[in-house]
Amino acid sequence: MNYDRILIRYGEMSLKGRNRKHFVQKLKKNIKFILRDFKQIQIQSEWDRMYVLLNGEPAEEVISSLKHVFGIQSFSPAIKTEKNIEAIRAAALEIVRRAHTPGNTFKVSARRSDKTFEYDTNGLNHAVGAHILINVEDIKVDVKNPDLNLLVEIRHDAAYISGQVIQGAGGFPVASSGKAMLMLSGGIDSPVAGYLTMKRGVGIEAVHFHSPPFTSERAKQKALDLASKLAQYSGSVKVHIVPFTEIQETIHKQIPEGYTMTATRRMMLRIVEEIRQRQGALAIVTGESLGQVASQTMDSMFAINDVTSTPILRPLITMDKIDIIKIAEDIDTFEISNRPYEDCCTIFTPPSPKTRPKLDKIQAFEAKVDWSPLLEKAINHTEEVIVSARNQQIAEDTDDFF
Ligand code: ATP
Ligand code: MG
């Protein structure tokens, strides 16, 4: 008897009364998309849980993909049996035998939503527990801290037996709360900002600025590899790669050195704003953290933010670097971010950018150049790439996740 399904428990979204139906549908669609390579699986959703029916697909691989799905509180590989005590005992014994090493402890945790079942929860705990003790050698009961907690659940349609509760990713199903444009550099912070935003149910498209030949193909690949890590949570991520060389060179020539960084950020934001409108997204996400560098002081943010009234989400704004790095390590982006390739901003960063730029000054400096043809050209030459978690770069024809 093998595990034939994975039982999925919903997370925080179950608190949200009226939105619940929408979240459950979204979660089901996301799970389907993330598991799209497992052709035989089927998904059944109920109001308080979902079942992924394996139909012969490998449980371990499905489990490792499910760990990345936001909106799942926890899940358990399970066996469905008829509602009679013999069948339940047999399935429970099978699960224990598979997990057992001599000297281990266990307990049975029974639950009934079908109150008409012939055994109550205590009766079930004893009936199943006794069967295990008789049939498995060198095993003891420990109700406080067992090595194996055998979950036996009697529902109206059937009984479900499981030996494992796996922690889910939490949060809300991705794209259940609209879409945002993530400004994705090759650094440590922006992928973490993207991850945290996705966790709250926001779908992400990334925008990456590159400046060939000052930045190399490998720097661009780094951003795509980071996007591919984020795609683990959504199935795929669209990346807009903006050619930024000409604008940066113009800034370099036309803007006084102390203000080039401010101007660069403002131009980036103008471009992202235009792409956001075209893509129908509702916010812009950055990896900014207050005080970290010259562009992230209060004065800088005030002067830069001036070019758009679109909400800018800054999930890391109050976080210390050490805590950001912890998350980057957890989501496996840290190593990629640490690759040494240059980033377009580092190359053009002046030795001492102004940490307290003035809005009226930058506006006056910018007014001397007509930027619109340059901005338009960059937007028109923007390349779109869709990356997935597995093969990193995939064709345009993927089902639309959002
Ligand atoms: P990160 O680690 O995310 O690069 P950082 O601490 O190095 O951040 P900056 O380089 O000042 O800080 O960038 C601040 C934010 O601006 C980044 O988090 C990112 O959202 C955006 N950004 C910077 N460079 C780029 C780029 N080349 N393409 C897209 N967005 C960028
Ligand atoms: Mg950076």
CB of 188 sitting under 6 A from ligand 1: yes
Q: What angle do CA 82, 3, 128 make, to 5 degrees?
A: 50
120 pLDDT tier (thresholds 50, 70, 90): very high
- CATH code, residues 5-167: 3.30.2130.30
**Which of 153, 196, 227 lies closest to 316, judged by CA?**
196
Helix intervals (H) in 288-340: 298-305, 321-330, 334-337
Q: Is the pLDDT assigned to residue 50 strictly greater than 60? A: yes
Amino acid 22: pLDDT: 84
Please list, residue by residue across 124-145, b when 16 or more beta carbons sit within 10 angstroms of its beta carbon and e when fewer do. Answer: bbebbbebbeeeeeebeeeeee
For residue 323, give the nearest of 147, 158, 196 by alpha carbon. 196
The rounded Å distance from CA 212 to ligand 1 centre is 17
316 CA closest ligand 1 atom index: 18
* C-alpha distance across the termini of the chain, in Å: 37
Q: Is the CB of 206 under 6 A from ligand 1?
A: no
Which pLDDT does position 154 carry in this prediction?
Answer: 96
pTM of the model: 0.87
Ligand nearest to the CA of 315: 1
Nearest to 365 by CA among 250, 259, 249, 248: 259
**pLDDT attached to residue 195:** 98
Could you tell me the residue ranges of all domains in the chain? Answer: 5-167, 179-388
Point out which residues pair with 50 in neighbouring strands. 8, 45
Residues paired with 241 in a beta bridge = 208, 383
Query: With 90 as the cut, is the pLDDT of residue 100 above it?
Result: no
Q: Please, are residues 210 and 241 in contact by the beta-carbon 8 Å criterion?
A: yes
Q: Between β-strands 72-81 and 49-53, what pairing exists: parallel, antiparallel or unpaired?
A: unpaired
- Architecture label for domain 179-388: 3-Layer(aba) Sandwich (3.40)
Ligand 1, residue 293: give the atom nearest the CA.
11
Beta carbon of 349 within 6 Å of any ligand 1 atom: no
Residue type (1 letter), 255? I
Confidence check: pLDDT of 398 > 50: no
Bridge pairing between strands 72-81 and 166-167: antiparallel
Average pLDDT over residues 149-158: 94
Residues 6+ apart with CB under 8 A from 131: 89, 92, 93
Categorise residue 55: left if φ over 0, alpha if ψ from -120 to 50, beta otherwise: left
* Between 317 and 22, residue with greater pLDDT: 317
